[in-house]
Structure 1
Amino acid sequence: MHKEQRRLYRDRTLGAEQEAAWNAAWAERMTGWRRKRIYDGLHRVFRAFWERTGLKRSSAYTESDIDDWCRTIETISELRNLLVHGENLVSQRLGDLVADQPWLGMQHTAGQILEVSLLDIMIVERFFTDLIMQINDSLMELAAGGKPIMKMGLDEAAKGKEA
């Protein structure tokens, strides 16, 4: 698995080029390790939570679903990771995630300077506000035996008028 890195480590003292190759390989490995250990799997944790609790997309949401929400969490996690670790450039991963979700509204291209705009912050805030509402609506519908909450409220109001 790390055969190439062991070779680079062993050869690092042979010259400046070998030392630079070792340093680059080590930095890449450390970045990957930190990412895996911190927030890289947050979208998987959310999916596991969603599935284990038996939640379903509430009837109030028709344009997105768990796959979309997990992808957005993955995007926000990658952006957060880059910021926390002092990266100056947009990673290929963040660029790909943003390109795959044009409706999200973020504008990050791989290799460009990483700048977080007020719009980015607003998008993150709105997403998590909506996600909390989605979870709440889903929990209410689960508790109501799968009946749509909004429809139930309207049905109850209509029943009251008939009486």
Structure 2
Amino acid sequence: MTSIMSSDILEDLPIKWIDFPCSAENQWICEANKIVMDFGGVFHSIFLRWAVTINGLHVATERYNGEEWLKGDKAFSVFGIRNAVDGTGPKLGAVRIWQADMAAKIHESSIPMLSAWAFCNMYSCLEEFIFKIFRSYLDANPLEICKGPEFSGHRKAHRERLESEEKKNCWTSLWSERLEAWHRKKLYDGLEKVFNNFINKTGLKIPSGYKGEYDYTDIGKTLGGIALIRNCFIHGASTVPQELEDFCRDYKGLFFSFKAGDKFQITINDLATLEYFTDTFTQTLNTSLLELACPEIAELKP
């Protein structure tokens, strides 16, 4: 992470993250940027943990298909808890025993399932991330979601929050309830719509260095496609829908390559594509937040 105050900032060197100061009225930008940098590491860590776990299944498949196990009459046991036959209560013991060839097949057949659940895990993290950066903006601009006659009490409490400790606590309680209610409702909107709403409210722009090649609406569509992949798995889709193939045909589909009518299956390549997206997505947001907080930075770029 490089500080914007560092003399290295303008050097032609690869920079992963840029930390920077914000004015008092733009403090939410620094809060959002901290979330961006933190989650950039979280996404990568989650991917690595799932990748090594999936690799373990490949290693196990090779091992149990190996000569030592196939010719050594070895068996693979899965232990669990069952009631003892002698009536002495639950005990730990083998609940399934497989010979080497079957153990190899079971490990190999588990790889797609693990890739799919890893994808869902990263998607959940992506959802949490987008709501966190949105909430950082709303905490600084609460009246954005306190409009209309039904929230007149909230606006009054906000105006009076500095008059006394009691009124401050009243506002804090009302705001917490309002923010949670907003969050619960927006969960049904989908990531693409929530992210586009965040961009519209904050005025965040794609980094100037991208020279108009694409904007955050395009990134929103990628988020929508990622959500579609996740939903296909969660809802038990057996074949790839046309909508998913259409998403993959566009450049917004990145390296996803689902074909309509094919068996729906999430692979390690799809997981790697999602991790690639989160890596570039967070770095792009980092630069955008920098330019939002320090507009003069954009003018320094060639």
Question: What percent identity do the matched residue pairs reach?
Answer: 34
Amino acid at match of 1:47: N
Q: Distance in 2 between matches of 1:92 and 1:118?
A: 22
Partner of 1:113: 263
TM-score normalized with structure 1 length: 0.62
Task: Indicate the structure (1 or 2) with the bigger Cα radius of gyration.
Answer: 2
Partner of 1:83: 233
Partner of 1:67: 217
**More strand, by proportion:** 2
User: Does the 8 Å contact 1:75/1:94 carry over to 2?
Assistant: yes
Give the gaps of 5 or more residues in structure 2. Answer: 1-185
Which of 46, 51, 76 in structure 1 is aligned with 2:195?
46
Cα shift readout 1:2-24 (whole Å, capped 9, x = no counterpart): xxxxxxxxxxxxxxxxxxxxxxx
Against the structure 1 CA distance between its residues 101 and 49, is the aligned structure 2 distance closer, same or farther, given a 3 Å change threshold?
same
Q: Distance in 1 between matches of 2:218 and 2:196?
A: 11
Q: Distance in 2 between matches of 1:72 and 1:84?
A: 19
3-state SS in 1 of match to 2:295: coil
* Offset of residue 147 of structure 1: 2.8
Partner of 1:142: 292
Cα shift readout 1:47-104 (whole Å, capped 9, x = no counterpart): 1101111110112434332122011111100000011122121112111111233761
Against the structure 1 CA distance between its residues 98 and 72, is the aligned structure 2 distance closer, same or farther, given a 3 Å change threshold?
same
Against the structure 1 CA distance between its residues 146 and 96, is the aligned structure 2 distance closer, same or farther, given a 3 Å change threshold?
farther
Q: Distance in 2 between matches of 1:150 and 1:117?
A: 42
Moved more, 120-129 or 93-102: 93-102
| Residue 276 (structure 2) pairs with residue 131 (structure 1) | no
RMSD: 2.5
Q: Distance in 1 between matches of 2:286 and 2:187?
A: 26
Amino acid at match of 2:195: F
Q: Distance in 1 between matches of 2:250 and 2:188?
A: 20
Against the structure 1 CA distance between its residues 140 and 81, is the aligned structure 2 distance closer, same or farther, given a 3 Å change threshold?
same
Partner of 2:162: none
Partner of 1:92: 242
Q: Distance in 2 between matches of 1:132 and 1:68?
A: 15
User: Does the 8 Å contact 2:204/2:292 carry over to 1?
Assistant: yes
Give the gaps of 5 or more residues in structure 1. Answer: 1-36, 155-163
| Residue 205 (structure 2) pairs with residue 56 (structure 1) | yes
Amino acid at match of 1:134: T
Q: Distance in 1 between matches of 2:295 and 2:252?
A: 35
Cα shift readout 1:9-44 (whole Å, capped 9, x = no counterpart): xxxxxxxxxxxxxxxxxxxxxxxxxxxx96663101
Q: Distance in 2 between matches of 1:77 and 1:84?
A: 10
Q: What count of residue pairs does the alignment treat as equivalent?
A: 116
